[in-house]
Each structure stands twice: as C-alpha cells, then as structure tokens.
Amino acid sequence: MTEVNVINIKNPFQDQKPGTSGLRKSTLRFQEEHYLEIFIQAILNSIKDLHGSTLVVGGDGRYGNISAIKKIIQICVAHQVGKLIIPKNGLLSTPATSHLIRKEGAIGGIILSASHNPGGIEGDFGVKLNISNGGPAPESITSQIYQCSQSLKSYKISKIKTPDLDEVGVFSFGQTSVEIIDGLKDYSNLMESIFDLDQISDFLKKDFSLIFDAMNAVTGPYAKNIFVEKMGLADNCVMNGIPLEDFGGLHPDPNLTYASKLADLLLVQKSYSFGAACDGDGDRNMILGQGCFVNPSDSLAVITANTNCVPGYKGGIAGVARSMPTSSAVDFVASALNIPCFETPTGWKFFGNLLDSNLISICGEESFGTGSNHVREKDGLWAVLYWLQILAVKNCSVSELIQNHWKQYGRNYYSRHDYEAIPSPIANQIFNNLSSFLPSLIGNKFAGNLVKGADNFSYIDPVDQSTSKNQGLRIILEDNSRVILRLSGTGTKGSTLRLYFEKFAGSEQNLHLNPQVALKSLIDDLDHLLNIRKLTKMEKPTVIT
C-alpha cells in the first residue's frame, strides 16, 4: 500500500470566480502552498468513477509545468486513479491532449496551461479539465469544481518519489500505473489521416516558402515533426521552435501585436509566401500570406467553403458553428452549402455537444481558433495544414484565395479592439452603462443606421437545453452590421474589455478597404456612446485585430 496523507489547509479560494476556460492566475499565486493541490482535489471530486480510471496529464511547458505534473501524480496515486498517461517532458498541446483522451478512452485530462497568456515566474499559469469526449468541461462541471474548491478544507496526497519525465516508460505506484509516452506520435498520425502531407510537401518545395512561428511554446516539436521530419522541409521553416519556460519573454498569443516579428516578415518584408503562428498551448492559429493578413472569421469561412480540397472532409460536413462575436462570413458559406450554422457563446466548451451529436463538423471563433470533429478543442496546426492543403490543391496564393472568396460571398469587414488590463471598476462601469440603456437603443439611429436589435446574448444548448445567460452585449443594425461588447474571462490583471465590429459589403461593393476605415462609423459611434477612450485613459486599444 502507498501511504496516503490528508493535508488540512486554510482554503485559499475564497475570491475565485469561474473563467472562460479553467483556472488562470499568476504563476506566483500557483506557487503558494496548497493552491494547486486544492484545485486538483476539487477537479478529482467532480469526476465520477475516478477509481481505476485513466487520466491524461500534460501541459504547454511553461514555468511550473513539471512540478505541477509531479504533484498531480502524487494526488492521483492517493485517489487510486488506474492509469495516468503523461507525455515525455510533460509537453502536450491542448488539441493533442483532446485526441489522446479520445484515443485512450480516458475519463478526462488535466491540461496545465494559461494558453495565450505570458509564462515564467512573472507570467501566468493555469489548469483546465477536459472530459471524456476530449473537450473542455461544460459549465455545469466547472461551476461544481469552483464551488468545491471554495469549501475544501483538506486534500489527499501520496508523497511517493515521482518518476523523471524525460524518458518513456511505465511505473507502478500502489494501484496506479504511470505511463510516460511519446507525446508527438499520436497527434502527427492523426494529421496524416486527415491531410495529404505529400501533396502539401510537394507544393511547399515548389517555390512556396513557409515560415511557422511556435512562439517558444508547445507547438515547436509538433511542427518540426510534421514539417521537417515527415515532409522533409528545411529545419529553419520553424522559428522559436524550442519550448521555453518563459516563452523567451514572448507573449504567446498569435496576433499582429504579439507575433509582430512574423507579421513583419510577411507583411512588410514579404520574405515568405505563407506564415503561421500558434499560441502557448497550440490551440490558436494565425494565418498570413505575402502582404496579407487573414482575419480568423474569414479563415473559418474559407475552411468551410473548401472541404472538398481536404481528404478528411471529402464526404461533406454536417454543419458549422461560430461563437456569437465571430463574424457572419461563415453563415454565407453555410447557406450556400445548405447546411445548418449555429451561433454559440464564446468558449470552445459550447461546441462540444454540437460536435458529439454530429450537428456540426467544423467550428471556430474570431479569437484565432478553428477546429473540427477530429478532436474537441480548437487546433492550431490543423488549421495551418488545412490552409496549406487548400493552397496546394488550388495552386494559388493566400491573397488570391481570400479575394476570390470575397468575390463569391461578399466580405464581412470585421475588427476586434481589446483594451487590456484596465481597472475593473472602469470596465464594469462601461459594461453596466451600456447594459442599462441597451433596449432603449432599438428604433434609434446608430452609425447612420437604424438599430433593429440590442440585447445581452443568451444561449440555449440545442442538445441538452442548458441555458447560458449574459454572454455579451450586442447592437444589431438594420443592414446587419453588429457592435458587441464583452468582458474577457481569461485575463489575470484588472479587466479586459473586448469590442467587436462587423459590417457586410456585397461583392459589388469595394472589398479592398482597410477594415478600420470600413468600420469607422461603428467604432466612432460606440466611443461617443460610452466614452471608452476617455474613461480608460487610453488613446487606442492595446490590440487591434
């Protein structure tokens, strides 16, 4: 028998509120005694039939990853979990975790990541629970975990000597077996089963240059495995390819602000035909062509319109879904394909039921997230391979592909403005102010147009009928232009205000405007209405996408 210790503690979770995905806090907070342990205990309490079951545990390699995995091993041994599957060096991307849970029939997985937030001792750390379908735990489970974490007074742990994670192997502790596995193989096999990698490789070797930015985070080894080892491309097609504990000081969020070096290579120097980046845990993607940025909402539409180019989807797709703030570009494609298009709240967990019930095959969010029914998470490298496959089949450039798309479907001019880390009282004041007079906007003019709808988005899941309220304030105009305002649920400093703007231009209109110009009246009128720049004392948003 392995010895089990029951540790009594003073509960550190009194101030906790559920976030968009799991628990995300400063690394220093996670270093406090018992903090991680209590949350892991709360997670385990939420899992029925834990005894003898299989759990997958891995993370994005940020500071604290290995020590957290070792603590999780000790806690799982104390709870007689049957099997723990852990990747070598503790490195497992979020989509690869989702795949492994499904492939191994695990009861769930624990992902150690604060996703696109910075890492290191001064950065953030996080813990996410995925359930047996491979997807993020739904709200019913996350709220149970949070309630439990607030009331726990003790946790159980076995202070065994944990194995080193740098070699594959199987270890046994009491009733628990710990399997250290190769974390790359299953994922790249999955990609090989969806895409024609030979075709992509031939295309890339024929004068179509690729640069992939792993942002010193988890996707480096996966990208090298696929692009270099499997496709035979040169080693230097992957930049920032070695996972570092602090991501080398980078903020591993693949957008034009934080992946600025890559953006410069593609948009200013025009040194490559194709560029892409993924975030800390590998579920987000940014796609760039030579002199061309692909808006993630457009990317979802292009991916949906071109399923016939990709072997894994040649049989057709059941339907699509997008989060509410994502632009309606994909709606036009769905209507042309005569397939359903669902509108969900922000966060991947809302796609799970739709995917499991085969109501949709492809889904995405404006926040650089796209994915499909191959796993239950958004998948950065999948999206990159998907784009490359379309380009290889059509033998065209990124900008040709996107411009032809707009010519066919029209263009949804779109932009998101983030005001990051502003004082919470200011963010709440702006949000509450708009909520208070939202209904009274209906029938009035906004940006030269009549307001036909204004509400706080709420969603009823079509599969289990669960309701999610308070998912974002939106103003909808007569020409279907939209303005949306949300408070982020993933930030860790102050509050982050997200503003989203969308306006449709039909194929006969000018499709080549800068989105900031095309959306100017919406942007300006929202600022007049809410005084955002003045109240935040910010001249401009922190990030414009």
Q: Which residues bind ligand VG1 (CB under 6 A)?
A: 20-21, 115-116, 279, 283-284, 323, 346-348, 365, 367, 369, 488-490, 498
Query: If contact means CB under 5 to 8 A according to the sort of partner, which of ligand VG1, Co ion, none does residue 494 touch?
Result: none
Size of interface with Co ion, in residues (CB under 5 A): 5
341-344 and 362-365 as β-strands: parallel, antiparallel, unpaired?
unpaired
Smallest distance from the beta carbon of 323 to ligand VG1, in angstroms? 6
As given in the structure block, the two tokens for residue 148 are: 């439990």
Contact 282, 380 (CB under 8 A): yes
Nearer to ligand VG1, 37 or 281 (CB): 281
Q: What residues numbered 95-124 form the site for Co ion, per CB under 5 A?
A: 115
Read off the amino acid at residue 504.
F
Q: Angle CA(400)–CA(196)–CA(397) in degrees, nearest 5?
A: 10
CA–CA distances in Å: residue 166 to residues 87, 140, 163, 220: 9, 36, 9, 17
115 is catalytic: yes
Chain-centre distance of CA 532, in angstroms?
A: 27
341-344 and 320-323 as β-strands: parallel, antiparallel, unpaired?
parallel
Smallest distance from the beta carbon of 345 to ligand VG1, in angstroms? 9
As given in the structure block, the two tokens for residue 249 are: 């000081």
60 touching Co ion, by CB under 5 A: no
Contact 230, 192 (CB under 8 A): yes
As given in the structure block, the two tokens for residue 312 are: 């894994």
As given in the structure block, the two tokens for residue 476 are: 């909808």
Q: Which of 4, 5, 93 is nearest to 56 (CA)?
A: 93
Smallest distance from the beta carbon of 283 to ligand VG1, in angstroms? 5
Of these, 283, 298, 366, 418, which contacts Co ion (CB under 5 A)? 283
Smallest distance from the beta carbon of 190 to ligand VG1, in angstroms? 19
CA–CA distances in Å: residue 376 to residues 31, 362, 416: 30, 10, 25
Task: Assign 407 to helix, strand or coil.
Answer: helix
| Residue of this chain nearest to ligand VG1 (CB atom) | 115
Query: If contact means CB under 5 to 8 A according to the sort of partner, which of ligand VG1, Co ion, none does residue 471 touch?
Result: none
Phi, psi torsion values for 120, nearest 5 degrees: 90, 175
Smallest distance from the beta carbon of 443 to ligand VG1, in angstroms? 30
Per-residue string for binding with Co ion, 243-282, x by CB under 5 A? ------------------------------------x-x-
Query: If contact means CB under 5 to 8 A according to the sort of partner, which of ligand VG1, Co ion, none does residue 124 touch?
Result: none
Q: Which of 286, 311, 304, 302 is nearest to 362 (CA)?
A: 304
Query: If contact means CB under 5 to 8 A according to the sort of partner, which of Co ion, ligand VG1, none does residue 361 touch?
Result: none
Q: Which of 460, 483, 486, 276 is nearest to 384 (CA)?
A: 276
Nearer to ligand VG1, 309 or 355 (CB): 355
108-112 and 54-59 as β-strands: parallel, antiparallel, unpaired?
parallel
Contact 196, 257 (CB under 8 A): no
Query: If contact means CB under 5 to 8 A according to the sort of partner, which of ligand VG1, Co ion, none does residue 489 touch?
Result: ligand VG1
Query: If contact means CB under 5 to 8 A according to the sort of partner, which of ligand VG1, Co ion, none does residue 299 touch?
Result: none
Query: If contact means CB under 5 to 8 A according to the sort of partner, which of Co ion, ligand VG1, none does residue 25 touch?
Result: none
Nearer to Co ion, 20 or 115 (CB): 115
Nearer to Co ion, 283 or 366 (CB): 283
Query: If contact means CB under 5 to 8 A according to the sort of partner, which of Co ion, ligand VG1, none does residue 490 touch?
Result: ligand VG1
Smallest distance from the beta carbon of 369 to ligand VG1, in angstroms? 6
**Residue 247 neighbours by CB under 8 Å, 6+ apart:** 62, 118, 119, 120, 123, 215, 216, 217, 280
Smallest distance from the beta carbon of 491 to ligand VG1, in angstroms? 6
Q: Which stretches within 341-410 are classed as H helix?
A: 352-356, 380-394, 398-409
Nearer to ligand VG1, 37 or 124 (CB): 124
Query: If contact means CB under 5 to 8 A according to the sort of partner, which of ligand VG1, Co ion, none does residue 253 touch?
Result: none
Task: Assign 235 to helix, strand or coil.
Answer: helix
Smallest distance from the beta carbon of 46 to Co ion, in angstroms? 22
Q: Angle CA(289)–CA(280)–CA(417) in degrees, nearest 5?
A: 60
Q: How many CB atoms lie within 10 A of CB 26?
A: 17
Nearer to ligand VG1, 365 or 502 (CB): 365
As given in the structure block, the two tokens for residue 135 are: 């997807």
Query: If contact means CB under 5 to 8 A according to the sort of partner, which of Co ion, ligand VG1, none does residue 98 touch?
Result: none
Nearer to ligand VG1, 180 or 543 (CB): 543
Nearer to ligand VG1, 43 or 391 (CB): 43
The beta-carbon contacts of 264-267 under 8 Å, at least 24 apart in sequence, are 265/211, 266/211, 266/290, 266/291, 266/292, 267/291, 267/292, 267/293
What per-residue string of b and e applies to 488-514 under the rule 16 or more CB within 10 Å gives b?
bebbbeebbbbbbbbbbbeeeeebeee
Nearer to ligand VG1, 21 or 162 (CB): 21
Smallest distance from the beta carbon of 364 to Co ion, in angstroms? 13
Nearer to Co ion, 40 or 114 (CB): 114
Contact 375, 473 (CB under 8 A): no
Smallest distance from the beta carbon of 422 to ligand VG1, in angstroms? 14
Active-site pick, 53, 98, 115, 327: 115
418 touching Co ion, by CB under 5 A: no
Q: What residues numbered 131-190 form the site for Co ion, per CB under 5 A?
A: none
User: Contact positions toward Co ion, by CB under 5 A?
Assistant: 115, 279, 281, 283-284
Catalytic amino acids? 115
